[in-house]
Structure 1
Amino acid sequence: MATVITVRAPFAFMRRLVSARLHRHCCSKLQAACLVSQPHSYSLIAGQQHRFFRTSYVAARPIMQFKLSDIGEGIMEVTVKEWYVKEGDKVSQFDSICEVQSDKASVTITSRYDGVIRKLYYDVDAIALVGKPLVDIETDGGQVKGPQEDVVETPAVSQEEHTHQEIKGHKTQATPAVRRLAMENNIKLSEVVATGKDGRILKEDILNFIAKQTGAILPPASYQEIRPPPPAAAVPSAPAAKPKEKMTPPSAPTPAIPKPVFTGKDHTEPIKGFQKAMVKTMSAALKIPHFGYKDEVDLSQLVRLRSELKGLAESRGVKLSYMPFFIKAASLGLLHFPILNSSLDENCTNITYKAAHNIGLAMDTNQGLLVPNVKNVQMLSIFEIAVELNRLQTLGLAGQLGTPDLTGGTFTLSNIGSIGGTYAKPVILPPEVAIGALGKIQVLPRFNHKGEVVKAHVMNVSWSADHRIIDGATMSRFSNLWRSYLENPASMVLDLK
């Protein structure tokens, strides 16, 4: 009776073991045979299986919600432009997590914790809210107990980490404008050869890639479509009539040319980033009654002066354009007409006169129209203004203008003439009350003080002023003073401080 019990007990155990661990029947028979011949092996096998289950235990580690902090300037939402990590990646403190863009500037978000990324709350181009979770990070507080080969998540995590390391090793760097250009032309950035600093892909790299694609694919396709039909019909038909057939090709292939088929489709995209800021600013500008004033400036003496100083500035590593002279002349004029350097509150009850002359320069960049400003122009020399302009232009081309560079302006000049055009109708940027647009410099015939026709370098300027607080006479007097400084640059020396 005891022998029967010894045999049944192992079979009952094996049935439970097979249902839990899916053992094969052959192993079950082998273990049963071992148990009949060796009764003491029952407890040994059970003990081994019991230890096997304990190896799959993993201690839970704390997960921290990384929230998007306040960026400043009253910004409540941003657009996620690029993720530098993905779920499963290990990060350390101060590692870059993603790049976000507000309506004022682009900002790189860095990690506050050491750990593993467990969740990304937003996709690329999604709107992220300030104060809401951005990612979940599993911190390094816990430790894994037991062999990791029995943990189901471990192989998946290690594979994802390996895949991301390969991708991250070949990660492409490009500005949002370059990425948008590549997206519009269905180009993978990984296929483009980068020529920028630290492997950054530039706009020229995308254009060169498009040119190579166009030159390699399009011309042969068109020749293959047009060439085959005429030879096929002419060669086998009549060898004796070859001289006559050579006269007919102009009329024969004409009807055989296929008509081009247009396959383009309209597409809709949301307004975001700097475009969204422009919509908001220009909508507010429509409430301002604009007063326009235009004039002509003879820059002949300034052209000669700049040609003399250009080499000296370049020897100091600075590119000297005409803009530093235009900006400094505007600052000197604002000292005599401070109302042009003021702001009007929303209720139109108070005027604030600005002490600093933060003169903005409308700049055409890959991200669109941006207006960085030179701070405290009233305290700067023309050379110092040139140095600051060089810095702002370099940051603008790289798409790295920050919020301090783009805010706090009190007066603006738009150098639209660098692209083309003589006159313009500039739109005031609230809360400012005046703006000027500079046309291109032209060489035109003019009369000098002796009545002789001479060659003159002429530029047209177009002013817009808030007619609620600035009258036409004030705008005209300011323009005359500004023009006198530029037509006789030596006169600026008298008012320099």
Structure 2
Amino acid sequence: RQRRRGRRLCSISPAPPAVSQEVVMMSLMTLCVSPAVSRGPIVQFKLSDIGEGIMEVTVKEWYVKEGDKVSQFDSICEVQSDKASVTITSRYDGVIRKLYYDVDATALVGKPLVDIETESGSEVIQEEDVVETPAMAREEHTHQEIKGHKTQATPSVRRLAMENNIKLSEVVGTGKDGRILKEDILNFLAKQTGAILPPTPFQEIQTPGPGPAAAARPASTPAAVTPPPSTPRPAFTGKDVTEPLKGFHRAMVKTMTAALMIPHFGYCDEVDLSRLVGLRSELRSVAEGRGVRLSYMPFFIKAASLSLLHFPILNASVDEGCQNITYKASHNIGLAMDTSQGLLVPNVKNVQLLSVFEIAQELNRLQTLGSAGQLGTSDMTGGTFTLSNIGSIGGTYAKPVILPPEVAIGALGKIQVLPRFSTGGQVVPAHIMKVSWSADHRIIDGATMCRFSNLWREYLENPASMVLDLK
């Protein structure tokens, strides 16, 4: 009725003599223009198929709220499956009208995540929603066009840069292929503000320091005191608590149940890493000068790859009925990683083609993403062989469980300085590390596992020999 009345006023109604002409004109303009304001259609943004047979995910964080305006490729939320964390990005320009889930709620594939009111006149494309993972290389989603060249960055990193008014073209990326990581943005911001950032969490096998050297330190130089790890105080509620297993915990249930159906063969040995300790101490400063932290793991991984070339059956997989064996061409070596989310096993792709330094670069990237809970699906899948760095936490021996469909895994203990006999019969201090192997005894016999371990040990005890076989 008001609209019809407005049209009549626009066409024939004269201004009442008691009202000023300006007021009447403003009222007429409002009435005439208001009917022309139209909203775009509301689109249900659905959770698309993430792959790997995943049917549900847990919503870990919302990047938007109701009423927020979003553009294409803006981050909507972060979800976590039993495989990896995934960032969902928008395909539409518009306004968020409804969020269907709370944080920590379970979202189902194919069901709406949010309602987006698209802009009027914009083309609504009824296609699969965009799924973005930090490790994906989809150029149109993970690149940002800046002054004629493309800078690689995930939506969360672009968002962080935008919030701090940082141009990505001015940031040097330390990720794979020059990808800009969250730490690159924080470091760039720290240089601008003069802030001191805390070190990135990074676990590695630590070499025991020599005691006498510490005692000989000058009194004027204060010793660096490492505070003991803080242990949260236990909370006693007096009530039993039952909650469903979800995310990575559910994945562990399925994986370990399948793994323990495999007959495991165990083999243990010790490795004298004294020469490797000296080599790593020489190369450590060189690597840090290039912006990469060099641990022992790149050497362990590269030695494993060189050994797998001689024993390809350890880099294989078998089908469920154990009727066929597939020898993998790529050495995608996984690293069992302890995170706040549980046990994760990302892998370094094509180790047979990488140098020790390139492996260290990739490990730095995986460690950073793992600490932030941002490992992508491609980082977590496709592994062919695994090493478990249990020594970074403690312990000398372990009984590692094979990660199907792989057929072998190794667990590395902590490095200890222990007395050993030299070739001249003298007792000398040596850096000793225990290693524990598990192999699928259906296709791998004990002799093969032993010979592989011997070759791997020789590479590490004489690291200079690795140079001869590097490509």
Q: What interval of TM-score do these two structures reach, taking the shorter chain for normalisation?
A: 0.5 to 0.7
Closer, same or farther: CA 53–356 of 1 in aligned 2, 3 Å: closer
The alpha carbon displacement at 1:114 in A equals 2.9
Q: In the alignment, is residue 71 of structure 1 matched against residue 41 of structure 2?
A: no
Query: Any idea what SS the aligned residue of 1:282 has?
Result: helix
CA distance in 1, matches of 2:311, 2:442: 16
The alpha carbon displacement at 1:56 in A equals 10
* Aligned residue in 2 for 1:86: 65
CA distance in 1, matches of 2:86, 2:320: 30
Query: Any idea what SS the aligned residue of 1:360 has?
Result: strand
CA distance in 1, matches of 2:449, 2:262: 16
- 1:299-334 per-residue CA deviation (whole Å, 9 max, x = no partner) reads 111112222222222222222211111111111110
The alpha carbon displacement at 1:399 in A equals 1.8
CA distance in 2, matches of 1:115, 1:441: 56
Q: How does 1:420-431 map to 2 (within 5 A)?
A: 420-431=394-405
- For residue 310 of structure 1, the aligned residue among 269, 284, 287 is 284
User: What count of residue pairs does the alignment treat as equivalent?
Assistant: 345
Amino acid at match of 2:58: T
- 1:234-289 per-residue CA deviation (whole Å, 9 max, x = no partner) reads xxxxxxxxxxxxxxxxxxxxxxxxxxx96543322221122222221111101111
Q: How does 1:283-302 map to 2 (within 5 A)?
A: 283-302=257-276
Amino acid at match of 1:400: Q
CA distance in 1, matches of 2:77, 2:251: 22
CA distance in 1, matches of 2:188, 2:240: 35
Closer, same or farther: CA 61–334 of 1 in aligned 2, 3 Å: closer
Query: Any idea what SS the aligned residue of 1:396 has?
Result: helix
* Aligned residue in 1 for 2:76: 97
* Aligned residue in 2 for 1:489: 463
Q: In the alignment, is residue 133 of structure 1 matched against residue 112 of structure 2?
A: yes
- For residue 393 of structure 1, the aligned residue among 350, 367, 373 is 367
| Higher relative contact order, chain-length normalized (CA < 8 Å, sep 6+) | 2
The alpha carbon displacement at 1:203 in A equals 13
Closer, same or farther: CA 139–421 of 1 in aligned 2, 3 Å: same
**Kept in 2: contact 1:196–1:202 (CA 8 A):** no
Amino acid at match of 1:412: T
**Kept in 1: contact 2:347–2:383 (CA 8 A):** yes
Query: Any idea what SS the aligned residue of 1:440 has?
Result: strand
- For residue 355 of structure 2, the aligned residue among 381, 403, 412 is 381
TM superposition score normalised by structure 2: 0.67
Query: Any idea what SS the aligned residue of 1:437 has?
Result: strand
Amino acid at match of 2:395: G
Amino acid at match of 2:468: L
Amino acid at match of 1:426: P
CA distance in 2, matches of 1:328, 1:55: 71
* Aligned residue in 2 for 1:108: 87
Closer, same or farther: CA 116–325 of 1 in aligned 2, 3 Å: closer
Amino acid at match of 2:385: F
RMSD after superposition = 3.3
Identity of aligned residues (%): 82
The alpha carbon displacement at 1:443 in A equals 0.7
Closer, same or farther: CA 319–196 of 1 in aligned 2, 3 Å: closer
Closer, same or farther: CA 387–94 of 1 in aligned 2, 3 Å: closer
TM superposition score normalised by structure 1: 0.63
The alpha carbon displacement at 1:86 in A equals 3.4
Q: Which has the larger radius of gyration?
A: 1
- For residue 266 of structure 1, the aligned residue among 235, 240, 249 is 240
* Aligned residue in 2 for 1:281: 255
* Aligned residue in 2 for 1:5: none
| Structure 2: gaps (5+ residues) | 1-29, 122-162, 164-185, 191-196, 201-229
Amino acid at match of 1:442: Q
Closer, same or farther: CA 129–420 of 1 in aligned 2, 3 Å: same
CA distance in 1, matches of 2:364, 2:258: 31
* Aligned residue in 1 for 2:446: 472
